[in-house]
Amino acid sequence: MPKIASRPVVLTIAGSDSGGGAGVQADLKTFAAFGVHGASAIACLTAQNPRRVLAIESCSPSMLRRQIEAVFEELHPAAVKTGMLFSSENLQVVAGFFRAWVARPPVSLIVDPVMVSTSGAKLLKPVAIKVLKEQLLPRATLVTPNLQEAEVLTGEKIASVENMRAATREIHARFGCAVLVKGGHLRRMRKAVDIFFDGRTELLLTAPFIKGIRTHGTGCTYSAAIAAALALGRDLPQAVALAKNYITQAIARSYRVERHAVLNHLGRTND
Name which of 138, 142, 122 is nearest 237 in CA terms. 142
Quote the distance between the C-alpha of residue 58 and its chain's center.
Answer: 19
> Which pLDDT score, from 0 to 100, does residue 136 have?
97
pLDDT of 118 > 70? The answer is no
Is residue 168 flagged as an active site residue?
Answer: no
- Which of 30, 144, 218, 221 is flagged as catalytic? 218
Is residue 120 flagged as an active site residue?
Answer: no
Are the C-beta atoms of 178 and 196 separated by less than 8 Å? yes
Percentage of the chain modeled with pLDDT above 70: 94
- Which of 154, 168, 219, 248 is flagged as catalytic? 219
Mean pLDDT of 75-100: 96
Is residue 44 flagged as an active site residue?
Answer: no
Is residue 217 flagged as an active site residue?
Answer: yes
Q: Which parts of the chain are beta strand (E)?
A: 9-17, 37-48, 53-58, 79-82, 108-111, 142-143, 178-182, 191-197, 202-208, 255-257, 260-262
> Which pLDDT score, from 0 to 100, does residue 51 have?
84
- Selected residue with higher pLDDT from 250 and 268: 250
Residue 78 DSSP label: S
- Which of 46, 83, 217, 248 is flagged as catalytic? 217
Is residue 215 flagged as an active site residue?
Answer: yes
Mean pLDDT of 182-210: 88
Calculated CA dihedral for residues 130, 165, 121, 45, nearest 10 degrees = -70
pLDDT of 271 > 80? The answer is no
Mean pLDDT of 243-261: 86
- Which of 141, 215, 221, 248 is flagged as catalytic? 215
- Which of 182, 183, 221, 244 is flagged as catalytic? 182
- Selected residue with higher pLDDT from 263 and 220: 220
pLDDT of 270 > 60? The answer is no
Round to whole Å and give the CA distance between 7 and 12. Answer: 16
> Which pLDDT score, from 0 to 100, does residue 217 have?
84
Q: Which fold has domain 9-262?
A: UDP-N-acetylmuramoyl-L-alanine:D-glutamate ligase (3.40.1190)
- Which of 81, 183, 220, 244 is flagged as catalytic? 220
> Which pLDDT score, from 0 to 100, does residue 264 have?
80
Are the C-beta atoms of 129 and 87 separated by less than 8 Å? no
Mean pLDDT of 102-119: 81
Name which of 76, 86, 75, 73 is nearest 13 in CA terms. 86
Is residue 248 flagged as an active site residue?
Answer: no
